Chains A and B, each alone.
Chain A
Amino acid sequence: MTNSDWTPDQPLVSIKDVHKSFGDLEVLKGVTLDVRQGEVICIIGPSGSGKSTLIRCVNALNTIDSGSIKVEGIEVNDPALDKLELRKNVGMVFQQYNLFPHKTALENVMMAPIKVLKQSVEEAEERARVLIKRVNLVGKENSYPGELSGGQQQRVAIARSLAMNPDVMLFDEVTAALDPETVNEVLLAIKDLAQDGMTCILVTHEMGFAREVADHIYFTDRGVIVEHGPPSTFFTEATDPRTQEFLSQIL
C-alpha cells in the first residue's frame, strides 16, 4: 500500500529535518536525506551520533519529535499512521539478530507471511525455502537459532525480513556482533540483495562494503549529517574536519 500521490521517480524514503530527543538528550538535530528506489545508502559515524535512532524512526520503532519521514509517500510522523501497513513494506534486520528461539529457522521465516500476510502454509513454506537458499543456508531449515552460528542466525534474520516482500530494507549494524570470519558471509548476502535491486539503508562500520556496494554514503556526528557523497569521492575528498578525523581513525 502506498500513498496514491507517490510515483517511483520520487524518493522511496524521504527524511526531512528530523528531530528526536530522549528526555533531555537531543539525539537527532535536524537530519535530512533521501533514498531513491534501488539505491543502497550507508550511514556511518561514531557511536552516539544518532544513526541507529534514525534508522529505527523509519519503521516507526521510535517516534520523532518533529520533521517528516515519508516512506513511499506515507508520512510516518503521523499519529493516525497504520504502523502495521508501514511495516509490511519496511523490513528491518537487527544487530542482535532477534530470531524467535522457540521456532526453527524455516518457521522463523514462514511465520510472518502466514500470520500477517495471511498466506497459506504451503505458499509461505515454498517461499521460505527459496529465501533460505538465497542466503546460502540450505540444510539448516530445521535448526533452532540456538544451534546456528551468529552469521547463520543473521542470514536467517535477513531471510525472515525478506519473506514479507518489503520495498526497503533497513540494516542496523548487522555485522557488529559477528566475528570477522562470519562478517563476510552476511555482507555477501546483503550485496546479493542490493544487486537484485533492493533499496537498502545500512548503518554500518564496514567501510570496505560501503565503498563497494553503496550508492551514497552519509556521515553523521552528534545528531546531524556532516557530510555525504558517493563512495568514489567521499573517502578521498572529504572536506569537513570531523569526517576526516573519523575516516583517519577507521581506515
Chain B
Amino acid sequence: MKSISKSGKASRDRFNATDLAVLKPFKYNQAGQVQDLQFSHWLAEFSPRSLLIIALLFLLWPGLAMAQSNYSFAQALDALWRWLPFIVTKGFLLNLIVSFLTMFIGTIAGVLLGLGQVSPLRPLARLSWLITQLFRNSPWLVLLFIVMLALPFEIEIGGEIYPIPDWLKAVFGLALPIMANISEIVRGAIVSVPTGQWEAAESLAYSRQQTLWMVILPQCFKRMIPPWMNWYAILTMATPLISLLGVEEIITLSRQAMEAEDNHPELLVPFFGFALIIFFAYCYPIARLTIRLEKRFVVRQ
C-alpha cells in the first residue's frame, strides 16, 4: 500500500508488513463472502430444515444397530436422558465458563498486543508481532499441554497457598491463541481506517496517542465485533480440547456417564451426538447474529 499521500511516518508503513495479515477486517473471497468469517458463514448457512434432516438421519443409523444386540437404542436414549442434567450442569456449563473467561482474558491481552503491534516504538512493535505470529500459528492443543503442565498447581501469595484449578490453567492455555487472533483483528482494524483520518487529526495538533484513542479506535470498534464473535464461536467449539488434559467438562463427563452405564457401544452416538447438538445449538445463533452484524457494519470505502 504505497501512496505518495501517506505522511512520512515509518511506523505506519510497517503496519502492512505482516505476511499473515488481516489487512482489512473484511476481505472478500471468490464467493463474495467475508474471508475471516468463514466459520460463521459455514455454520450460519445451515438452514433449520437441513438441520432437522441431519438430525433425523442421525437417529436412523443407530436403529440398524438395534436389531443386532440386546441393548436397544431406546435404552441408550433413556440412559442419556437420565444423565442429561449432570452432563449439562457440571459439564457443558464448565465449557461455557471456560469460554467466557478465555474470551475475556484473551480479548484484553489481544487488544494490548494489537496496540503494541502498531506502536511507533520499533522493539515493542517487533516483539508484539513475534508473539502474535507465534501463538497464531501454534496448535491449540500443544499450547494447552505446555501451559497446563508448566503452570504450578498451587501458588503462594503472602504466606497463603492458593490452588490453581486445572480449568483455570486451561483458560490461560486457550487464551494464548485467542490473544494472538484478537491482536490481528485489532491491528487489521486500525490499518483499515483511512490514512486521511490520521492526517486530519495530526493537522489539528492531536498527539499520536490522542489520535489513536479519540479518532481511530472508536472507528475500529464496530468493525472488530463480527470477527471477534467469530473467534468466540471457534473457541467454544475448541473447549472440548481441555478434556484431553483431564479437565472435567462435557466430554469427560459423557465418558464417565457411559462408563457408569457399562460402556455399551449403543451409547456412543446418543451421548456424543448430544454433545454435538448442544454445541451446535449454542454456536448456531451466534453465527447467525455474527453474519447479521457483518452486513450492518460493512465498511463503506
The smallest C-beta distance from A65 to any residue of chain B, in angstroms, reads 11
Q: Does B165 count as interface, using CB distance less than 8 angstroms?
A: no
B1-43 interface mask toward A, CB cutoff 8 Å, 1 = contact, 0 = none? 0001101100000000000000000000000000000000000
Q: Does B207 count as interface, using CB distance less than 8 angstroms?
A: yes
Query: Among residues 88 to 119 in chain A, which have CB atoms less than 8 Å away from a CB atom of chain B?
Result: 88, 90-92, 94, 96, 98-102, 111-112, 115-116
Residues of A within 8 A of B200 (CB): 92, 94, 98-100, 157
A73 to B134 CA separation, bound complex (whole angstroms): 50
Contact yes or no, B205 A116, CB < 8 A: yes
Contact yes or no, B7 A61, CB < 8 A: yes
- Contact residue among B8, B196, B206, B215 (Cβ-Cβ distance under 8 Å from A116): B206
Residues of A within 8 A of B205 (CB): 83-85, 87-88, 112, 116, 164
The smallest C-beta distance from A49 to any residue of chain B, in angstroms, reads 12
The smallest C-beta distance from B204 to any residue of chain A, in angstroms, reads 4
Residue of A nearest to B197 (CB): A98
Assign chain B's interface to a size class: 20 to 34
Q: Does A204 count as interface, using CB distance less than 8 angstroms?
A: no
Q: Does B256 count as interface, using CB distance less than 8 angstroms?
A: no
Contact yes or no, A116 B210, CB < 8 A: yes
Contact yes or no, B8 A111, CB < 8 A: no
Q: Does A175 count as interface, using CB distance less than 8 angstroms?
A: no
A183 to B201 CA separation, bound complex (whole angstroms): 24
A98 to B5 CA separation, bound complex (whole angstroms): 13
Residues of B within 8 A of A53 (CB): 4
- Contact residue among A22, A27, A61, A100 (Cβ-Cβ distance under 8 Å from B202): A61
A63 to B202 CA separation, bound complex (whole angstroms): 14
Contact yes or no, A63 B8, CB < 8 A: yes
Contact yes or no, A98 B199, CB < 8 A: yes
Q: Does A59 count as interface, using CB distance less than 8 angstroms?
A: yes
The smallest C-beta distance from B29 to any residue of chain A, in angstroms, reads 27
Residues of B within 8 A of A161 (CB): 203-204
Residues of A within 8 A of B219 (CB): 100-102
The smallest C-beta distance from A87 to any residue of chain B, in angstroms, reads 4
A53 to B7 CA separation, bound complex (whole angstroms): 10
Residues of A within 8 A of B201 (CB): 100
Residues of A within 8 A of B218 (CB): 102
Q: Does A52 count as interface, using CB distance less than 8 angstroms?
A: yes
A61 to B204 CA separation, bound complex (whole angstroms): 11
Contact yes or no, B7 A112, CB < 8 A: no
A1-35 interface mask toward B, CB cutoff 8 Å, 1 = contact, 0 = none? 00000000000000000000010000100000000
A94 to B194 CA separation, bound complex (whole angstroms): 13
Q: Does A160 count as interface, using CB distance less than 8 angstroms?
A: yes
Q: Does B214 count as interface, using CB distance less than 8 angstroms?
A: yes
Contact yes or no, B7 A91, CB < 8 A: no
A94 to B197 CA separation, bound complex (whole angstroms): 10
Residue of B nearest to A170 (CB): B203
Contact yes or no, B215 A100, CB < 8 A: yes
Pick 11 A–B contacts, CB within 8 A, sort by A: A22-B4, A56-B5, A63-B8, A87-B202, A92-B200, A94-B200, A96-B194, A100-B200, A101-B219, A102-B218, A161-B204
B: residues with CB less than 8 A from A are 4-5, 7-8, 194, 196-197, 199-207, 210, 214-215, 218-219
